[in-house]
Structure 1
Amino acid sequence: MVFFRRLILMLQFFTRIPIKYESDITTEDFGKALALIPIVGLVIGGIMGGTYMLLLYIFSPKICAVIVLIEYIFLTGGIHLDGLGDTFDGLFSYRPKERILEIMHDSRVGTNAVLAVASVLILNSVLLTEINGSFTLKVIILFPVAGRLGSIVGAALSTYARRGEGMAKSFIDCCGKLELFIGIAMYVIIFLLVGLYRGYIIMIFPIITAVILIKYFSRKIDGATGDVLGAVCELNQTLFLMAAYAVLNYRGW
Protein backbone atom coordinates (compact mmCIF):
# COMPACT_ATOMS: atom_id res chain seq x y z
CA MET A 1 0.00 0.00 0.00
CA VAL A 2 2.80 2.41 0.88
CA PHE A 3 4.55 1.54 -2.39
CA PHE A 4 1.52 2.36 -4.55
CA ARG A 5 0.68 5.48 -2.56
CA ARG A 6 4.19 6.81 -3.06
CA LEU A 7 4.25 5.82 -6.73
CA ILE A 8 0.97 7.61 -7.43
CA LEU A 9 2.29 10.65 -5.57
CA MET A 10 5.36 10.74 -7.82
CA LEU A 11 3.24 10.35 -10.95
CA GLN A 12 1.01 13.21 -9.80
CA PHE A 13 3.94 15.45 -8.94
CA PHE A 14 6.29 14.78 -11.86
CA THR A 15 3.84 14.25 -14.73
CA ARG A 16 0.68 15.80 -16.13
CA ILE A 17 -1.03 12.41 -16.29
CA PRO A 18 -4.50 12.98 -14.77
CA ILE A 19 -4.62 10.74 -11.69
CA LYS A 20 -7.32 11.48 -9.13
CA TYR A 21 -6.10 10.13 -5.82
CA GLU A 22 -5.89 11.74 -2.42
CA SER A 23 -4.33 10.42 0.75
CA ASP A 24 -2.66 11.66 3.89
CA ILE A 25 1.00 12.09 3.10
CA THR A 26 3.88 12.97 5.37
CA THR A 27 6.99 14.91 4.46
CA GLU A 28 8.99 11.72 4.93
CA ASP A 29 6.66 9.81 2.59
CA PHE A 30 7.05 12.53 -0.02
CA GLY A 31 10.83 12.57 0.24
CA LYS A 32 11.36 8.82 0.27
CA ALA A 33 8.99 8.39 -2.68
CA LEU A 34 11.72 9.79 -4.92
CA ALA A 35 13.25 6.29 -4.90
CA LEU A 36 10.39 5.25 -7.21
CA ILE A 37 11.00 7.91 -9.83
CA PRO A 38 12.65 5.44 -12.29
CA ILE A 39 9.18 3.89 -12.61
CA VAL A 40 7.82 7.34 -13.43
CA GLY A 41 10.49 7.53 -16.13
CA LEU A 42 9.37 4.13 -17.42
CA VAL A 43 5.74 5.29 -17.60
CA ILE A 44 6.79 8.41 -19.52
CA GLY A 45 9.09 6.42 -21.80
CA GLY A 46 6.44 3.74 -22.33
CA ILE A 47 3.86 6.30 -23.42
CA MET A 48 6.40 7.93 -25.73
CA GLY A 49 7.39 4.54 -27.13
CA GLY A 50 3.77 3.64 -27.84
CA THR A 51 3.22 6.98 -29.56
CA TYR A 52 6.38 6.45 -31.62
CA MET A 53 5.18 3.04 -32.87
CA LEU A 54 1.76 4.40 -33.83
CA LEU A 55 3.21 7.40 -35.63
CA LEU A 56 5.46 5.15 -37.72
CA TYR A 57 2.37 4.20 -39.72
CA ILE A 58 2.14 7.80 -40.91
CA PHE A 59 5.51 9.53 -40.60
CA SER A 60 9.18 8.77 -41.07
CA PRO A 61 11.18 7.57 -38.02
CA LYS A 62 12.95 10.93 -37.73
CA ILE A 63 9.70 12.90 -37.67
CA CYS A 64 8.26 10.45 -35.14
CA ALA A 65 11.29 10.92 -32.88
CA VAL A 66 10.86 14.69 -32.88
CA ILE A 67 7.13 14.43 -32.15
CA VAL A 68 7.66 12.17 -29.12
CA LEU A 69 10.17 14.67 -27.72
CA ILE A 70 7.45 17.31 -27.96
CA GLU A 71 5.11 14.85 -26.26
CA TYR A 72 7.70 14.51 -23.48
CA ILE A 73 7.39 18.22 -22.71
CA PHE A 74 3.62 17.93 -22.38
CA LEU A 75 3.79 14.73 -20.31
CA THR A 76 6.14 16.32 -17.77
CA GLY A 77 4.86 19.87 -17.94
CA GLY A 78 8.46 20.90 -18.50
CA ILE A 79 9.12 20.66 -14.76
CA HIS A 80 12.71 19.47 -15.16
CA LEU A 81 13.39 21.77 -18.11
CA ASP A 82 12.31 24.66 -15.90
CA GLY A 83 14.86 23.54 -13.32
CA LEU A 84 17.53 23.33 -16.00
CA GLY A 85 16.80 26.87 -17.13
CA ASP A 86 16.75 28.32 -13.62
CA THR A 87 19.99 26.53 -12.72
CA PHE A 88 21.84 27.86 -15.74
CA ASP A 89 20.45 31.36 -15.19
CA GLY A 90 21.86 31.30 -11.67
CA LEU A 91 25.18 29.54 -12.16
CA PHE A 92 26.20 31.44 -15.25
CA SER A 93 25.45 34.80 -13.70
CA TYR A 94 28.84 34.30 -11.99
CA ARG A 95 27.52 35.87 -8.78
CA PRO A 96 28.04 34.87 -5.12
CA LYS A 97 26.10 31.89 -3.81
CA GLU A 98 23.25 33.84 -2.22
CA ARG A 99 22.71 35.88 -5.36
CA ILE A 100 22.78 32.72 -7.50
CA LEU A 101 20.02 31.23 -5.35
CA GLU A 102 17.98 34.42 -5.67
CA ILE A 103 18.30 34.35 -9.45
CA MET A 104 17.32 30.67 -9.55
CA HIS A 105 14.23 31.47 -7.47
CA ASP A 106 13.24 34.38 -9.74
CA SER A 107 10.30 33.46 -11.99
CA ARG A 108 11.66 35.53 -14.86
CA VAL A 109 13.45 33.66 -17.66
CA GLY A 110 16.95 34.85 -18.54
CA THR A 111 19.12 34.41 -21.60
CA ASN A 112 21.11 31.55 -20.10
CA ALA A 113 17.90 29.64 -19.35
CA VAL A 114 16.67 29.97 -22.93
CA LEU A 115 20.04 28.92 -24.33
CA ALA A 116 20.29 25.90 -22.00
CA VAL A 117 16.78 24.60 -22.68
CA ALA A 118 17.02 25.21 -26.43
CA SER A 119 20.44 23.53 -26.62
CA VAL A 120 19.26 20.43 -24.74
CA LEU A 121 16.08 20.07 -26.80
CA ILE A 122 17.91 20.50 -30.11
CA LEU A 123 20.66 18.07 -29.12
CA ASN A 124 18.12 15.50 -27.87
CA SER A 125 16.21 15.78 -31.12
CA VAL A 126 19.27 15.33 -33.32
CA LEU A 127 20.64 12.44 -31.26
CA LEU A 128 17.35 10.56 -31.16
CA THR A 129 16.80 10.91 -34.90
CA GLU A 130 20.33 9.72 -35.68
CA ILE A 131 20.51 6.71 -33.35
CA ASN A 132 20.54 3.33 -35.11
CA GLY A 133 16.89 2.73 -36.00
CA SER A 134 16.98 -0.83 -34.68
CA PHE A 135 17.34 0.54 -31.16
CA THR A 136 15.33 3.78 -31.30
CA LEU A 137 12.23 2.43 -29.54
CA LYS A 138 14.21 1.00 -26.63
CA VAL A 139 16.23 4.20 -26.27
CA ILE A 140 13.01 6.25 -26.22
CA ILE A 141 11.72 4.08 -23.38
CA LEU A 142 14.97 4.20 -21.42
CA PHE A 143 16.22 7.77 -21.63
CA PRO A 144 13.55 9.23 -19.27
CA VAL A 145 14.47 6.47 -16.79
CA ALA A 146 18.18 7.32 -17.02
CA GLY A 147 17.43 11.00 -16.55
CA ARG A 148 15.34 10.50 -13.45
CA LEU A 149 17.97 8.27 -11.93
CA GLY A 150 20.05 11.45 -11.84
CA SER A 151 17.52 13.09 -9.53
CA ILE A 152 17.86 10.27 -6.99
CA VAL A 153 21.65 10.38 -7.13
CA GLY A 154 21.56 14.16 -6.79
CA ALA A 155 19.22 14.10 -3.78
CA ALA A 156 21.14 11.33 -2.01
CA LEU A 157 24.57 12.90 -2.46
CA SER A 158 23.78 16.50 -1.56
CA THR A 159 22.42 18.76 1.15
CA TYR A 160 19.73 21.39 0.77
CA ALA A 161 21.31 24.67 -0.33
CA ARG A 162 18.62 27.14 0.71
CA ARG A 163 17.78 28.45 4.15
CA GLY A 164 14.37 27.44 5.42
CA GLU A 165 11.88 25.21 3.66
CA GLY A 166 11.50 24.40 -0.01
CA MET A 167 9.67 21.88 -2.15
CA ALA A 168 12.82 19.84 -2.77
CA LYS A 169 14.00 19.90 0.85
CA SER A 170 12.06 16.76 1.71
CA PHE A 171 13.63 14.92 -1.24
CA ILE A 172 17.16 15.91 -0.28
CA ASP A 173 16.66 15.38 3.47
CA CYS A 174 14.81 12.05 3.21
CA CYS A 175 16.54 10.44 0.25
CA GLY A 176 19.41 8.47 1.77
CA LYS A 177 21.50 5.41 0.98
CA LEU A 178 18.52 3.04 1.06
CA GLU A 179 16.51 5.16 -1.37
CA LEU A 180 19.57 5.49 -3.60
CA PHE A 181 20.02 1.70 -3.61
CA ILE A 182 16.33 1.14 -4.40
CA GLY A 183 16.43 3.70 -7.20
CA ILE A 184 19.55 2.23 -8.80
CA ALA A 185 18.16 -1.31 -8.45
CA MET A 186 14.94 -0.28 -10.18
CA TYR A 187 16.90 1.45 -12.93
CA VAL A 188 19.01 -1.67 -13.56
CA ILE A 189 15.94 -3.95 -13.56
CA ILE A 190 14.11 -1.69 -16.02
CA PHE A 191 17.19 -1.51 -18.26
CA LEU A 192 17.50 -5.30 -18.30
CA LEU A 193 13.77 -5.82 -18.92
CA VAL A 194 13.73 -3.42 -21.86
CA GLY A 195 16.58 -5.48 -23.29
CA LEU A 196 18.89 -2.97 -24.93
CA TYR A 197 21.39 -5.80 -25.25
CA ARG A 198 23.99 -4.03 -27.34
CA GLY A 199 23.73 -1.06 -25.02
CA TYR A 200 24.44 -2.79 -21.71
CA ILE A 201 27.82 -1.11 -21.75
CA ILE A 202 26.11 2.27 -21.26
CA MET A 203 23.95 1.13 -18.32
CA ILE A 204 26.47 2.43 -15.77
CA PHE A 205 27.00 5.72 -17.61
CA PRO A 206 24.02 7.68 -16.16
CA ILE A 207 25.13 6.86 -12.61
CA ILE A 208 28.61 8.25 -13.27
CA THR A 209 27.38 11.38 -15.04
CA ALA A 210 24.84 12.08 -12.28
CA VAL A 211 27.56 11.93 -9.62
CA ILE A 212 29.78 14.29 -11.63
CA LEU A 213 26.94 16.74 -12.28
CA ILE A 214 25.70 16.92 -8.68
CA LYS A 215 29.25 17.35 -7.35
CA TYR A 216 29.81 20.21 -9.79
CA PHE A 217 26.56 21.99 -8.95
CA SER A 218 27.00 21.41 -5.21
CA ARG A 219 30.39 23.10 -5.26
CA LYS A 220 28.82 26.20 -6.77
CA ILE A 221 26.02 26.70 -4.23
CA ASP A 222 27.06 24.45 -1.33
CA GLY A 223 24.29 21.95 -1.96
CA ALA A 224 21.34 21.39 -4.24
CA THR A 225 17.81 22.66 -4.82
CA GLY A 226 14.83 21.37 -6.76
CA ASP A 227 16.07 23.29 -9.79
CA VAL A 228 19.43 21.54 -9.56
CA LEU A 229 17.79 18.11 -9.35
CA GLY A 230 15.78 19.01 -12.45
CA ALA A 231 18.91 20.14 -14.25
CA VAL A 232 20.71 16.90 -13.38
CA CYS A 233 17.73 14.95 -14.74
CA GLU A 234 17.68 16.77 -18.08
CA LEU A 235 21.45 16.77 -18.55
CA ASN A 236 21.60 13.10 -17.62
CA GLN A 237 19.06 12.34 -20.34
CA THR A 238 21.07 14.17 -22.96
CA LEU A 239 24.33 12.53 -21.88
CA PHE A 240 22.61 9.13 -21.98
CA LEU A 241 21.47 9.81 -25.55
CA MET A 242 25.01 10.82 -26.48
CA ALA A 243 26.38 7.60 -25.01
CA ALA A 244 23.66 5.57 -26.73
CA TYR A 245 24.49 7.16 -30.07
CA ALA A 246 28.22 6.52 -29.63
CA VAL A 247 27.73 2.86 -28.68
CA LEU A 248 24.76 1.86 -30.84
CA ASN A 249 26.03 3.55 -34.00
CA TYR A 250 29.58 2.29 -33.64
CA ARG A 251 30.32 0.30 -36.79
CA GLY A 252 33.02 -1.77 -35.17
CA TRP A 253 30.50 -4.05 -33.45
Structure 2
Amino acid sequence: MKALKRLVLMLQFFTRIPINIQITANSSDFGKGLVFAPFVGLVIGAVLTIAAYGLLFIFPRVMVSALVLVLYIAITGGLHLDGLGDTFDGIFSNRPKERILEIMRDSRVGTNAVLAVASVLLLDFTALTQINEEYFLRIILLMPMAGRAGSLVGAAVSGYARLGEGLGKSFIDFCGKKELIWGLIIYSVISLLTFDLKLWIILLLPPLAALLTVKYFSSKVGGATGDILGAVCELNQCIFLVAACGILF
Protein backbone atom coordinates (compact mmCIF):
# COMPACT_ATOMS: atom_id res chain seq x y z
CA MET A 1 0.00 0.00 0.00
CA LYS A 2 2.88 2.38 0.76
CA ALA A 3 4.23 1.93 -2.74
CA LEU A 4 0.84 2.64 -4.33
CA LYS A 5 0.37 5.70 -2.11
CA ARG A 6 3.77 7.06 -3.12
CA LEU A 7 3.10 6.41 -6.80
CA VAL A 8 -0.17 8.34 -6.64
CA LEU A 9 1.59 11.08 -4.67
CA MET A 10 4.23 11.44 -7.37
CA LEU A 11 1.58 11.61 -10.09
CA GLN A 12 -0.26 14.29 -8.15
CA PHE A 13 2.87 16.32 -7.46
CA PHE A 14 4.60 16.11 -10.83
CA THR A 15 1.58 16.30 -13.13
CA ARG A 16 -1.75 18.06 -13.46
CA ILE A 17 -3.50 14.81 -14.31
CA PRO A 18 -6.69 14.94 -12.19
CA ILE A 19 -6.36 12.25 -9.51
CA ASN A 20 -8.90 13.11 -6.84
CA ILE A 21 -7.56 10.95 -4.03
CA GLN A 22 -6.78 12.40 -0.61
CA ILE A 23 -3.40 11.16 0.61
CA THR A 24 -1.78 11.69 3.99
CA ALA A 25 1.94 11.94 3.31
CA ASN A 26 5.08 12.94 5.17
CA SER A 27 8.48 14.14 3.99
CA SER A 28 9.86 10.63 3.57
CA ASP A 29 7.01 9.70 1.23
CA PHE A 30 8.11 12.43 -1.18
CA GLY A 31 11.76 11.38 -1.18
CA LYS A 32 11.14 7.64 -1.29
CA GLY A 33 8.41 8.17 -3.87
CA LEU A 34 11.04 9.35 -6.35
CA VAL A 35 11.69 5.68 -7.06
CA PHE A 36 8.59 5.98 -9.30
CA ALA A 37 9.88 9.04 -11.19
CA PRO A 38 10.67 7.03 -14.36
CA PHE A 39 7.19 5.48 -14.29
CA VAL A 40 5.58 8.90 -13.84
CA GLY A 41 7.56 9.99 -16.88
CA LEU A 42 6.19 7.02 -18.80
CA VAL A 43 2.62 8.01 -17.85
CA ILE A 44 3.24 11.55 -19.12
CA GLY A 45 4.77 10.09 -22.26
CA ALA A 46 1.76 7.83 -22.81
CA VAL A 47 -0.62 10.81 -22.70
CA LEU A 48 1.59 12.72 -25.14
CA THR A 49 1.89 9.72 -27.47
CA ILE A 50 -1.86 9.16 -27.64
CA ALA A 51 -2.37 12.85 -28.38
CA ALA A 52 0.39 12.86 -31.01
CA TYR A 53 -1.04 9.78 -32.73
CA GLY A 54 -4.41 11.47 -33.10
CA LEU A 55 -2.95 14.83 -34.15
CA LEU A 56 -0.93 13.21 -36.94
CA PHE A 57 -4.22 12.57 -38.77
CA ILE A 58 -4.86 16.33 -38.83
CA PHE A 59 -1.52 18.15 -38.86
CA PRO A 60 1.96 17.69 -40.36
CA ARG A 61 4.64 16.37 -38.03
CA VAL A 62 6.22 19.79 -37.48
CA MET A 63 2.98 21.14 -36.03
CA VAL A 64 2.41 17.96 -34.01
CA SER A 65 5.89 18.35 -32.50
CA ALA A 66 5.02 21.87 -31.37
CA LEU A 67 1.64 20.80 -29.98
CA VAL A 68 3.23 17.91 -28.10
CA LEU A 69 5.59 20.30 -26.31
CA VAL A 70 2.71 22.66 -25.46
CA LEU A 71 0.73 19.72 -24.09
CA TYR A 72 3.81 18.60 -22.13
CA ILE A 73 4.00 22.01 -20.48
CA ALA A 74 0.28 21.87 -19.69
CA ILE A 75 0.49 18.39 -18.15
CA THR A 76 3.52 19.23 -16.00
CA GLY A 77 2.51 22.81 -15.22
CA GLY A 78 5.96 23.90 -16.37
CA LEU A 79 7.29 22.75 -12.98
CA HIS A 80 10.70 21.60 -14.18
CA LEU A 81 11.06 24.40 -16.72
CA ASP A 82 10.62 26.83 -13.82
CA GLY A 83 13.43 25.03 -11.99
CA LEU A 84 15.59 25.21 -15.13
CA GLY A 85 15.12 28.95 -15.37
CA ASP A 86 15.76 29.60 -11.67
CA THR A 87 18.87 27.41 -11.72
CA PHE A 88 20.40 29.19 -14.69
CA ASP A 89 19.57 32.61 -13.24
CA GLY A 90 21.42 31.67 -10.07
CA ILE A 91 24.30 29.49 -11.23
CA PHE A 92 25.33 31.80 -14.06
CA SER A 93 25.03 35.02 -12.07
CA ASN A 94 28.70 34.57 -11.05
CA ARG A 95 27.87 35.40 -7.43
CA PRO A 96 28.84 33.71 -4.14
CA LYS A 97 26.95 30.60 -3.03
CA GLU A 98 24.57 32.43 -0.65
CA ARG A 99 23.62 34.98 -3.31
CA ILE A 100 23.13 32.25 -5.94
CA LEU A 101 20.64 30.50 -3.65
CA GLU A 102 18.82 33.79 -3.05
CA ILE A 103 18.55 34.42 -6.78
CA MET A 104 17.24 30.90 -7.36
CA ARG A 105 14.46 31.57 -4.86
CA ASP A 106 13.51 34.90 -6.45
CA SER A 107 10.23 34.60 -8.35
CA ARG A 108 11.36 37.16 -10.91
CA VAL A 109 12.68 35.87 -14.23
CA GLY A 110 16.09 36.97 -15.44
CA THR A 111 17.83 36.89 -18.80
CA ASN A 112 19.62 33.60 -18.11
CA ALA A 113 16.29 31.93 -17.29
CA VAL A 114 14.67 33.10 -20.51
CA LEU A 115 17.66 32.03 -22.58
CA ALA A 116 17.84 28.60 -20.90
CA VAL A 117 14.16 27.77 -21.28
CA ALA A 118 14.02 29.08 -24.86
CA SER A 119 17.15 27.15 -25.84
CA VAL A 120 15.93 23.87 -24.34
CA LEU A 121 12.48 24.13 -25.95
CA LEU A 122 14.06 25.06 -29.29
CA LEU A 123 16.35 22.03 -29.15
CA ASP A 124 13.46 19.77 -28.07
CA PHE A 125 11.28 20.99 -30.93
CA THR A 126 13.98 20.73 -33.58
CA ALA A 127 14.97 17.24 -32.45
CA LEU A 128 11.38 16.01 -32.57
CA THR A 129 10.89 17.32 -36.10
CA GLN A 130 14.06 15.62 -37.38
CA ILE A 131 13.75 12.18 -35.78
CA ASN A 132 13.01 9.35 -38.18
CA GLU A 133 9.25 9.00 -38.61
CA GLU A 134 9.45 5.32 -37.61
CA TYR A 135 10.64 6.32 -34.12
CA PHE A 136 8.66 9.53 -33.65
CA LEU A 137 5.92 8.19 -31.37
CA ARG A 138 8.28 5.96 -29.38
CA ILE A 139 10.60 8.88 -28.65
CA ILE A 140 7.65 10.96 -27.44
CA LEU A 141 6.66 8.07 -25.16
CA LEU A 142 10.14 7.75 -23.66
CA MET A 143 11.35 11.35 -23.45
CA PRO A 144 9.60 12.29 -20.14
CA MET A 145 10.88 9.08 -18.55
CA ALA A 146 14.44 9.94 -19.58
CA GLY A 147 14.03 13.39 -18.06
CA ARG A 148 12.61 12.21 -14.75
CA ALA A 149 15.34 9.64 -14.36
CA GLY A 150 17.53 12.72 -14.01
CA SER A 151 15.60 13.99 -10.99
CA LEU A 152 15.92 10.56 -9.37
CA VAL A 153 19.67 10.40 -9.90
CA GLY A 154 20.15 14.02 -8.88
CA ALA A 155 18.30 13.61 -5.59
CA ALA A 156 19.99 10.31 -4.72
CA VAL A 157 23.58 11.50 -5.16
CA SER A 158 23.23 14.97 -3.60
CA GLY A 159 22.90 16.67 -0.26
CA TYR A 160 20.53 19.58 0.30
CA ALA A 161 22.22 22.91 -0.43
CA ARG A 162 20.13 25.19 1.80
CA LEU A 163 20.26 25.50 5.56
CA GLY A 164 16.48 25.80 6.02
CA GLU A 165 13.46 24.20 4.45
CA GLY A 166 12.72 24.16 0.74
CA LEU A 167 10.67 22.40 -1.89
CA GLY A 168 13.43 19.95 -2.73
CA LYS A 169 14.55 19.09 0.81
CA SER A 170 12.17 16.16 1.28
CA PHE A 171 13.16 14.67 -2.06
CA ILE A 172 16.89 15.01 -1.48
CA ASP A 173 16.95 13.99 2.20
CA PHE A 174 14.91 10.82 1.76
CA CYS A 175 15.92 9.61 -1.69
CA GLY A 176 18.92 7.34 -1.19
CA LYS A 177 20.76 4.44 -2.76
CA LYS A 178 17.83 2.05 -2.34
CA GLU A 179 15.49 4.39 -4.23
CA LEU A 180 18.16 5.00 -6.88
CA ILE A 181 18.72 1.28 -7.48
CA TRP A 182 15.03 0.39 -7.67
CA GLY A 183 14.24 3.47 -9.73
CA LEU A 184 16.94 2.57 -12.24
CA ILE A 185 15.63 -1.01 -12.33
CA ILE A 186 12.19 0.36 -13.29
CA TYR A 187 13.89 2.59 -15.87
CA SER A 188 15.90 -0.33 -17.26
CA VAL A 189 12.92 -2.70 -17.49
CA ILE A 190 10.87 -0.10 -19.40
CA SER A 191 13.88 0.57 -21.64
CA LEU A 192 14.40 -3.13 -22.41
CA LEU A 193 10.73 -3.49 -23.35
CA THR A 194 11.39 -1.25 -26.36
CA PHE A 195 13.22 -4.23 -27.92
CA ASP A 196 15.38 -1.85 -29.96
CA LEU A 197 19.19 -1.65 -29.71
CA LYS A 198 19.35 1.96 -30.90
CA LEU A 199 16.87 3.05 -28.23
CA TRP A 200 18.82 1.12 -25.58
CA ILE A 201 21.97 3.04 -26.49
CA ILE A 202 20.16 6.38 -26.31
CA LEU A 203 18.50 5.50 -22.99
CA LEU A 204 21.90 4.75 -21.45
CA LEU A 205 22.81 8.44 -21.69
CA PRO A 206 20.30 10.14 -19.32
CA PRO A 207 21.45 8.60 -15.99
CA LEU A 208 25.09 9.43 -16.76
CA ALA A 209 24.20 12.91 -18.02
CA ALA A 210 22.17 13.53 -14.85
CA LEU A 211 25.09 12.53 -12.63
CA LEU A 212 27.49 14.88 -14.41
CA THR A 213 25.01 17.75 -14.55
CA VAL A 214 23.98 17.61 -10.90
CA LYS A 215 27.62 17.34 -9.81
CA TYR A 216 28.41 20.50 -11.76
CA PHE A 217 25.51 22.45 -10.27
CA SER A 218 26.25 21.09 -6.79
CA SER A 219 29.84 22.29 -7.01
CA LYS A 220 28.52 25.85 -7.29
CA VAL A 221 26.20 25.81 -4.25
CA GLY A 222 27.39 22.89 -2.13
CA GLY A 223 24.49 20.57 -2.94
CA ALA A 224 21.22 20.41 -4.83
CA THR A 225 17.84 22.10 -4.51
CA GLY A 226 14.39 21.47 -5.95
CA ASP A 227 15.19 23.92 -8.75
CA ILE A 228 18.35 22.01 -9.61
CA LEU A 229 16.44 18.72 -9.74
CA GLY A 230 13.99 20.38 -12.13
CA ALA A 231 16.82 21.71 -14.27
CA VAL A 232 18.46 18.29 -14.44
CA CYS A 233 15.13 16.79 -15.53
CA GLU A 234 14.67 19.21 -18.43
CA LEU A 235 18.32 19.07 -19.49
CA ASN A 236 18.22 15.26 -19.37
CA GLN A 237 15.12 15.19 -21.54
CA CYS A 238 16.76 17.57 -24.00
CA ILE A 239 19.96 15.48 -24.13
CA PHE A 240 17.85 12.39 -24.79
CA LEU A 241 16.05 14.08 -27.69
CA VAL A 242 19.23 15.51 -29.21
CA ALA A 243 20.91 12.09 -28.99
CA ALA A 244 17.85 10.48 -30.57
CA CYS A 245 17.97 13.03 -33.35
CA GLY A 246 21.63 12.28 -33.98
CA ILE A 247 21.15 8.51 -34.09
CA LEU A 248 17.64 8.20 -35.53
CA PHE A 249 17.45 11.02 -38.10
Question: What is the TM-score with the length of structure 1 in the denominator?
Answer: 0.96
1:216 maps to 216
1:89 maps to 89
Alpha-carbon offset, residue 31 of structure 1? 1.2
1:148 maps to 148
Alpha-carbon offset, residue 203 of structure 1? 2.1
Deviations 1:208-229, CA, capped at 9 Å, x for gaps: 1011101100100000000000
Deviations 1:50-83, CA, capped at 9 Å, x for gaps: 0010011111122111111110000000000000
Deviations 1:136-158, CA, capped at 9 Å, x for gaps: 11000101000000001000111
C-alpha RMSD of matched pairs (Å): 0.9
Deviations 1:192-239, CA, capped at 9 Å, x for gaps: 223444322122111110111011001000000000000000000000
Contact 1:210 1:236 in 2 (8 A): yes
1:108 maps to 108
Alpha-carbon offset, residue 18 of structure 1? 1.1
CA distance, structure 2, for counterparts of residue 197 and residue 137 of structure 1: 17
Structure 2 unaligned residues grouped into runs of 5+: none
CA distance, structure 2, for counterparts of residue 62 and residue 3 of structure 1: 39
Alpha-carbon offset, residue 10 of structure 1? 0.4
CA distance, structure 2, for counterparts of residue 137 and residue 195 of structure 1: 15
Distance 1:196 1:74, change over 3 A: farther
Q: Which amino acid aligns with 1:74?
A: A
2:22 matches 1:47: no
2:168 matches 1:171: no
CA distance, structure 2, for counterparts of residue 172 and residue 158 of structure 1: 7
Contact 1:138 1:196 in 2 (8 A): no
1:135 maps to 135
CA distance, structure 2, for counterparts of residue 144 and residue 234 of structure 1: 9
Alpha-carbon offset, residue 164 of structure 1? 1.2
Alpha-carbon offset, residue 245 of structure 1? 1.2
Q: Which amino acid aligns with 2:143?
A: F
Deviations 1:79-136, CA, capped at 9 Å, x for gaps: 0000000000001110000000000000001111011001100110000110111001
Q: State the secondary structure of the residue aligned to 1:179.
A: helix
Contact 1:44 1:75 in 2 (8 A): yes
Question: What is the TM-score with the length of structure 2 in the denominator?
Answer: 0.98
CA distance, structure 2, for counterparts of residue 36 and residue 199 of structure 1: 21
Aligned residues: 249
1:184 maps to 184
Alpha-carbon offset, residue 23 of structure 1? 2.3
Deviations 1:161-205, CA, capped at 9 Å, x for gaps: 001111211111111111001111111111122344432212211
Contact 2:9 2:23 in 1 (8 A): no
Q: State the secondary structure of the residue aligned to 1:203.
A: helix
